[in-house]
Amino acid sequence: MSVASFNDSIKEGAKTDPFRLIGGWVERPEDIQPALEGDVRADVVVVGAGFAGLSAALELRALGAEVVVLEQEFTGFGASGRNAGYLAGSMGVEFELFVRRVGVEQATKIVSFYDEGVAYVEKRLVELSIDCDYRPSGIIRAVVHPSQEKKLRHDMELGAKLGSDTRFVDSYEMRARGIPPAFLFGCTQHGGTLDPGKYVMGLRRAALGAGIKLYEQTPLLSYSEGPTITCRTARGSASAPFMVLATNAYTPQLGLLRDKVAPIRVSAIETEPLSKAQLASLGWSHREGLVTPHLTMESHRLTARDTLLLTTKKLGYAYGSSTPNVPDSAAYSALAQTLDKRYPTLRGISLRACWSGYISLAYDALPVVGQTGPQQNIFYTAGCSGHGVGTQSLVGSLLAERIGGIEHPLLSALRHKTPRTLPEPLQWCLMNAALMGANALDHLVNRKVKSSANG
Ligand SMILES: Cc1cc2nc3c(=O)[nH]c(=O)nc-3n(C[C@H](O)[C@H](O)[C@H](O)COP(=O)(O)OP(=O)(O)OC[C@H]3O[C@@H](n4cnc5c(N)ncnc54)[C@H](O)[C@@H]3O)c2cc1C
């Protein structure tokens, strides 16, 4: 479907044809693992088979633990199978909020946690022989209008004070690199892009190979606390002295972190593969992942299958922290319009897919990682906003180490008091007002881009 007809169909309230319920990267595995039947015991039960859950499970297994993983649908069903595949460090995180909340010293350690996430994933891809089309091209945070320079420079300066290593890329270098002309100048950082579906399925393959018992199609329904935690599912139970809730944006639905994180819907569109001529019209030979300093950032990248992927632009919050798996036509339409604006040489290109998924966000934008229960034997991880490819993988490893008896300094650095979220309907009002405000301010920047193009 072309971008124009896609927009028309949305205006008419019609179908969103290329919508994919499970995102654009993964399919339901052919060897989907059977649901849990009966009662099983283990050393650790991990709930959620995304980057965090599978990384934790693999590291725990390497320490010699018997591990059971419960996944409500199948591996990669959550954000890990739906994201844009940026393996990015600390660039673009909310430095100012971090400092205000925990001070410079702790913020510096948290920034290094974000950066370490990149190195951790790069190491694991090699160790586990996962081929996920990783391209260490670096990530560029690029402005689309000169009015964004102030924010870009400010973030760079504050980030540098906190140890975030970025370099300014001027317009000459941008053009020399062949970055599409809509992106004027910016800053770059180590990292790159990958196929998140292949990454998460690579973790799954490694987990099954390591003897981890993975039960897919097995939602955790409830759990009991105590020295032994019993996780109840539809037709059985899994018990262990430790549990890791790696359920991220879905965690509030289990009754935990309800007052700490809010699930935020993030959307993506992906074009059909570009022809050789279309690719040549873009230049962009190193295929750097691009993000913008809009309040709701845009992200733009080419994939290994020569498609162009755009994400974010319009975020959503559903009443009561629910996570409905439904299309977000307004977000796809906004992304499709952005595609048209930023890439005039691609006008008329068809969309292969569009989809949405959920990240979780704390009011202070900091990761929410900790432990709870009378025995402090229930570990959880959420937050990390839109930076989970690196951070959630690393957190899985840090939690495994912690359960093994060692607390890594990066894990200690994450400990802080997360602000309480508001009860409904206040949270719905606050979230939607904040998202609308951000959209309105971003719209002003985009109007300036349009008028400079016309002028
Ligand atoms: C559109 C989009 C684009 C993004 N782009 C990027 C990006 O480019 N770079 C980046 O770093 N981050 C990005 N992110 C964020 C990143 O994908 C997440 O932070 C990360 O995948 C979270 O991993 P996770 O393992 O913690 O959670 P998830 O991947 O969400 O995994 C949680 C799992 O728990 C399962 N589950 C939930 N409830 C239950 C239950 N009751 N019982 C059993 N299982 C349950 C779910 O089915 C799911 O599989 C993006 C996210 C989205 C949605």
Ligand 1 centroid to Cα of residue 50, in Å, is: 6
pLDDT in tens, 322-360: 999 999 999 999 999 999 999 999 998 999 999 999 999
> What is the spatial distance between Cα 130 and Cα 55, in angstroms, rounded to a whole number?
13
Residue minimizing CA distance to atom 19 of ligand 1 = 388
Ligand 1 centroid to Cα of residue 359, in Å, is: 6
Average pLDDT value for the chain:
94
pLDDT at 5 over 70: no
Ligand 1 centroid to Cα of residue 262, in Å, is: 13
Q: Which atom of ligand 1 is nearest to the CA of 267?
A: 1
Ligand 1 centroid to Cα of residue 185, in Å, is: 31
**Residue among 447, 112, 430, 83 nearest 291 (CA):** 83
Ligand 1 centroid to Cα of residue 311, in Å, is: 15
Distance of CA 78 to CAs 73, 248, 359, 360, 439, Å?
9, 9, 9, 11, 25
Query: Which of 83, 133, 137 for a ligand 1 pocket mutation test, highest count of atoms within 8 Å of Cβ?
Result: 83
Q: pLDDT value at position 288? A: 97
Q: Which atom of ligand 1 is nearest to the CA of 54?
A: 25
Tell me phi and psi for residue 421, to 5 degrees. Answer: -80, 170
Q: pLDDT value at position 14? A: 39
Ligand 1 centroid to Cα of residue 301, in Å, is: 19
Domains and CATH numbers, the chain: 1-30+262-272+307-361+424-455 (no CATH), 31-85+195-260+365-421 (3.50.50.60)
Tell me phi and psi for residue 320, to 5 degrees. Answer: 75, 20
Q: pLDDT value at position 410? A: 97
pLDDT at 431 over 60: yes
Strands (E), 112-202: 139-142, 167-169, 186-189, 191-193
Pocket of ligand 1 (CB under 6 A): 47-53, 70-73, 77-80, 82-86, 88, 219-220, 246-250, 254, 266, 268, 311, 357, 359, 384, 386-390, 392
Q: pLDDT value at position 362? A: 94
Distance of CA 103 to CAs 13, 96, 220, 391, Å?
48, 10, 37, 21
Contacts of 15 (CB under 8 A, 6+ apart): 9
Q: pLDDT value at position 450? A: 78
Classified as helix, coil or strand, 6 is helix
Distance of CA 313 to CAs 53, 191, 222, 344, 427, Å?
28, 22, 35, 18, 21
- Local confidence band at 454 (pLDDT 50, 70, 90 cut-offs): low
Contacts of 344 (CB under 8 A, 6+ apart): none
- Local confidence band at 17 (pLDDT 50, 70, 90 cut-offs): low
Ligand 1 centroid to Cα of residue 454, in Å, is: 40
In the 8-state DSSP scheme, what is residue 251? G
Stated length of the chain: 455
Residue minimizing CA distance to atom 53 of ligand 1 = 357
CA 52 to chain centre: 11
Classified as helix, coil or strand, 378 is strand
pLDDT in tens, 175-220: 999 999 999 999 999 999 999 999 999 999 999 999 999 999 999 9
Ligand 1 centroid to Cα of residue 203, in Å, is: 14
- Local confidence band at 253 (pLDDT 50, 70, 90 cut-offs): very high
Query: Which of 218, 315, 389 for a ligand 1 pocket mutation test, highest count of atoms within 8 Å of Cβ?
Result: 389
Residue minimizing CA distance to atom 34 of ligand 1 = 48
Lowest-confidence pick of 3-7, 50-54, 371-375: 3-7
Q: pLDDT value at position 452? A: 77
pLDDT at 449 over 70: yes
